[in-house]
Amino acid sequence: MATAIYPGSFDPPTLGHLDIIRRSAAIFNELVVCVMHNGAKGQSLFTCRERAQLLESITADIPNVRIETQGGLLADYVKNYEEPVVIRGLRAVTDFEYEFQMAAINKKLNCKMETMFMVASDKYTFLSSSVVRELGKYGREMSCFVPKAVEEAVHKKLSGELCKSAPA
């Protein structure tokens, strides 16, 4: 199969994301992992460039994966591809309503765009970037949740964060 696009905010990328990346890359000739802005989420912990660098380092062993960063609408970005297939991971039924709405809106904006859902591996159904950010604030070990490079980056970024947010 041709190229697929896996968009997300990846703030930071987790082992759950990496699992979807590996499984998608095994199906498609090429997988473009695209770091984008999610307007429903607040200030991100990592810049787009930092998130892309983390993704580059954790996918370095997968030859058919390419990392990009893009602003704007996903439906516009995928116009760069002739038959755009977008991959989204589904962890639980709770993800479904939002994902269903996004897929339907994107289809309205770009009728050529197809969204395919990949069910998360059961060991990652509980995992999210926000959980990782929260654990990072408390300086917790998180090798079950993120690759080593990401763990180090989160700890580096958040070192001193608890002191800053502690009540007076």
Binding site for ligand PNS (CB under 6 A): 7-9, 36-38, 41, 73-75, 102, 105
Q: How far is the CB of 166 from ligand PNS (least distance, A)?
A: 29
Complex with ligand PNS: residue 108 or 148, whichever CB lies closer? 108
Residues 6+ apart with CB under 8 A from 42: none
Diameter of the chain measured on Cα atoms: 57
Q: Catalytic residue among 24, 44, 91, 133, which? A: 91
Q: How far is the CB of 12 from ligand PNS (least distance, A)?
A: 11
Per-residue CA distances from 67 to 4, 53, 64 (Å): 12, 8, 10
37 labelled catalytic: no
End-to-end CA distance of the chain: 57
Bridge partners of residue 66, in order along the sequence:
32
Complex with ligand PNS: residue 9 or 64, whichever CB lies closer? 9
129 labelled catalytic: yes
Complex with ligand PNS: residue 35 or 142, whichever CB lies closer? 35
Q: How far is the CB of 70 from ligand PNS (least distance, A)?
A: 8
Q: Catalytic residue among 9, 17, 108, 123, which? A: 17
SS (H, E, C) 30-74: EEEEEECCCCCCCCCCCCHHHHHHHHHHHCCCCCCEEEEECCCCH
Active-site amino acid positions: 17, 41, 91, 129
